[in-house]
Structure 1
Amino acid sequence: MANSKYEYVRSFEQSDTLLPNTWIVVRIDGRGFHSFSNRYNFTKPNDIRALNLMNAAASAVVKEIPDLCIAYGVSDEYSFIFHKTTTLFDRRSSKLLSTVVSTFTAFYIHLWRVHFPPDIALQPPHLPTFDARTICYPTLANLRDYLSWRQVDCHINNLYNTTFWAMRQKGGMGPREVEEELKGTLASDKNEILWGRFGINYNDENEIFKKGSVVFCQYELEEPAEGRTDTLALEEDEATAVPDTEPSRTQKERAKKVRAKASVVVRHIDIIKDDFWERRPWISSGKPGKPLAVEEQ
């Protein structure tokens, strides 16, 4: 940038560099998606086309931004996680946030026609937009608790919505009548309503509805090592850990080539239990795993 008398305006910019050695979450949410879903007649309580579109857009983001180590989505929300060692954009919040949300929105619009028929084309002013925020978590245990919170929330909301819409669509009840009956009910009560009145076994519902979607690069799964440290011990170790040494240019290039060959996959599985993390150590380590001998289908 050339020097000029106007350059002083740069002094008004504020630093928004995020804390070092912390896991960065960029969570995006659909803006006004209740009205948006009604405008395009999304199926209630879950529209598989809309969920597949969200997952396709999220997968594209993970492919476009190699520093992302995992993403988790449900409904019109997605959380994208940068490894604690990332130096992308010098860890500036505004750059990370705007890059993720704009890339996601671009792919969401671009891929719309792949997942919805031509007669349901996007039309202004009813276009999808997303807001976003950044959150820093100091330890892997904190990050896992965050993702566990989102997956538990997915189950709670889906059980409620499944029951709500069964009572509306199959039971012929009005929205206020349903809300009043469901007020204060427990999970067991909702399961009883679904099975007792409508013959719906919630356990048979699609896993994508109950568990949400996890997006990550796939490598060869590893067997859990004996005597793994528990989460609390891991948190204590991380709390006092010195930040990892910056990898050399050669190491970065090698890792980049391995990641480029890895498939980005979408899974609808439990990420709360240790098994998910122990069999996929590359997510927490930030280093590529062993390439698959046979590519997953």
Structure 2
Amino acid sequence: MANSEYGYVRNFEQGDALPPSNWIVVRIDGRGFSKLCKKYNFEKPNDRRALDLMNAVATEVVRSFVDIVLAYGQSDEYSFVFHESTGLFERRAAKLATSVATAFTAEYCMQWSTFLPDQPLARPYPTFDGRCVCYPKHSILRDYLCWRQADCHINNLYNTTFWNMVLKGGMSTTEAEQALKGTVSSDKNEILFSRFGINYNSEPEAYKKGTVVYRLYVKDSCVNGSLKPENTGDKVPDTASKTQLEKERKRKQKAQIVIDHPDIIGDAFWTAHPYILASKRGQDHGE
């Protein structure tokens, strides 16, 4: 940038680099999505087309940012986990948050017609905001993801019960809200089963557990007719050369991106995919 008498204004910019050796979560949320759902008549309590759109968009964001090791989404939000060793945008919070949020917004609008072809998108267009949060340990990062999945279950159980009471039970929204005050999970399960014949456990996993998007690394050869996951994950040598870093980037770009709805509160998912939270030194777990 050329020097001039006006260059002093740069001194007003504030540094916002996030601390090193922290896992960075960029969480995006839809702005005004209650109005959007009403405007486009989304199905209640869940519109599978809208959820599939969110998941397709998240997949493209993961594909675009190779330092994202996992994304978790529910409703109109998605959390993108950047590896603790990422140096993207010099770890500047504003750059990370705005880059992910704008990429998500653009993809959402561009892919809208694929999933909702009978509902042309019109102004005001959907937008998403973003924020960055740092987590210094694997255990805390996992607790964050557990929190989001638990929130998904709580919200979906409530919404499933609420909207069945309104749409099938003939109650007003106010009456349904009052009737559900003070109820616990078992009460809502009983209402669904006794009044509407719905076994909540049989509801789609995507609704109950949300969605996980991650890379699956596979070797060139097949084992017993199926692809065998690699265990190398997202580790990068401490003294990686530019050539090594470029090879690592290309390896991530070629990896299969998986959309799944597993339980991430328990250990089974993480045991099966230890490379997701592997440190850059290749450790599967540990702080």
Question: TM-score, with normalisation over the residues of structure 1?
Answer: 0.87
Superposed, which structure 2 residues align to 1:13-52 within 5 Å?
A: 13-52=13-52
From the superposition, tell whether residues 263 and 184 of structure 1 become closer, same or farther in structure 2 (CA, over 3 Å): same
The aligned counterpart of 1:292 is none
Q: CA deviation at 1:223?
A: 11
Q: Which amino acid aligns with 2:162?
A: F
Q: CA deviation at 1:257?
A: 2.2
Separation (CA, whole Å) in 2 of partners of 1:257 and 1:105:
25
The aligned counterpart of 1:143 is 141
Per mean C-alpha deviation after superposition, the further-off stretch among 130-139 and 276-285 is 276-285
* 1:102 matches 2:102: yes
Q: CA deviation at 1:265?
A: 1.3
Q: CA deviation at 1:250?
A: 3.0
* 1:112 matches 2:105: no
The aligned counterpart of 2:178 is 180
Q: Which aligned segments of 4 or more residues in structure 1 are displaced greater than 3 angstroms? A: 220-224
The aligned counterpart of 1:247 is 240
Identity of aligned residues (%): 57
Superposed, which structure 2 residues align to 1:135-174 within 5 Å?
A: 135-174=133-172
CA distances 1:110-131 after superposition (whole Å, capped 9, x unpaired): 00010002x3111112x10111
Match of 2:209 among 208, 211, 216: 211
Per mean C-alpha deviation after superposition, the further-off stretch among 259-268 and 86-95 is 259-268
Aligned residues: 268
The aligned counterpart of 2:72 is 72
Q: CA deviation at 1:87?
A: 0.6
From the superposition, tell whether residues 7 and 223 of structure 1 become closer, same or farther in structure 2 (CA, over 3 Å): closer
Q: CA deviation at 1:32?
A: 0.6
The aligned counterpart of 2:285 is none
Report SS of the residue matched to 2:45: coil
Separation (CA, whole Å) in 2 of partners of 1:251 and 1:282:
18
Q: CA deviation at 1:249?
A: 2.2
Work out whether residues 211 and 261 of structure 2, in 8 Å CA contact, stay in contact via their aligned partners in 1: yes
CA distances 1:153-193 after superposition (whole Å, capped 9, x unpaired): 00010000000011001100011111111001010000000
Separation (CA, whole Å) in 2 of partners of 1:10 and 1:112:
39
Structure 2 gaps of 5+ residues are 219-227, 232-236, 283-287
* 1:190 matches 2:188: yes
From the superposition, tell whether residues 15 and 130 of structure 1 become closer, same or farther in structure 2 (CA, over 3 Å): same
Work out whether residues 27 and 78 of structure 2, in 8 Å CA contact, stay in contact via their aligned partners in 1: yes
The aligned counterpart of 1:128 is 126
Q: CA deviation at 1:285?
A: 1.4
Q: CA deviation at 1:251?
A: 2.4
Q: Which amino acid aligns with 1:61?
A: V
Q: CA deviation at 1:222?
A: 6.1
Q: Which amino acid aligns with 1:187?
A: S
Question: TM-score, with normalisation over the residues of structure 2?
Answer: 0.90
Separation (CA, whole Å) in 1 of partners of 2:34 and 2:45:
12
Separation (CA, whole Å) in 1 of partners of 2:279 and 2:54:
24
Work out whether residues 222 and 279 of structure 1, in 8 Å CA contact, stay in contact via their aligned partners in 2: no
Structure 1 gaps of 5+ residues are 225-243, 290-297
Work out whether residues 164 and 196 of structure 2, in 8 Å CA contact, stay in contact via their aligned partners in 1: yes
Work out whether residues 223 and 278 of structure 1, in 8 Å CA contact, stay in contact via their aligned partners in 2: no
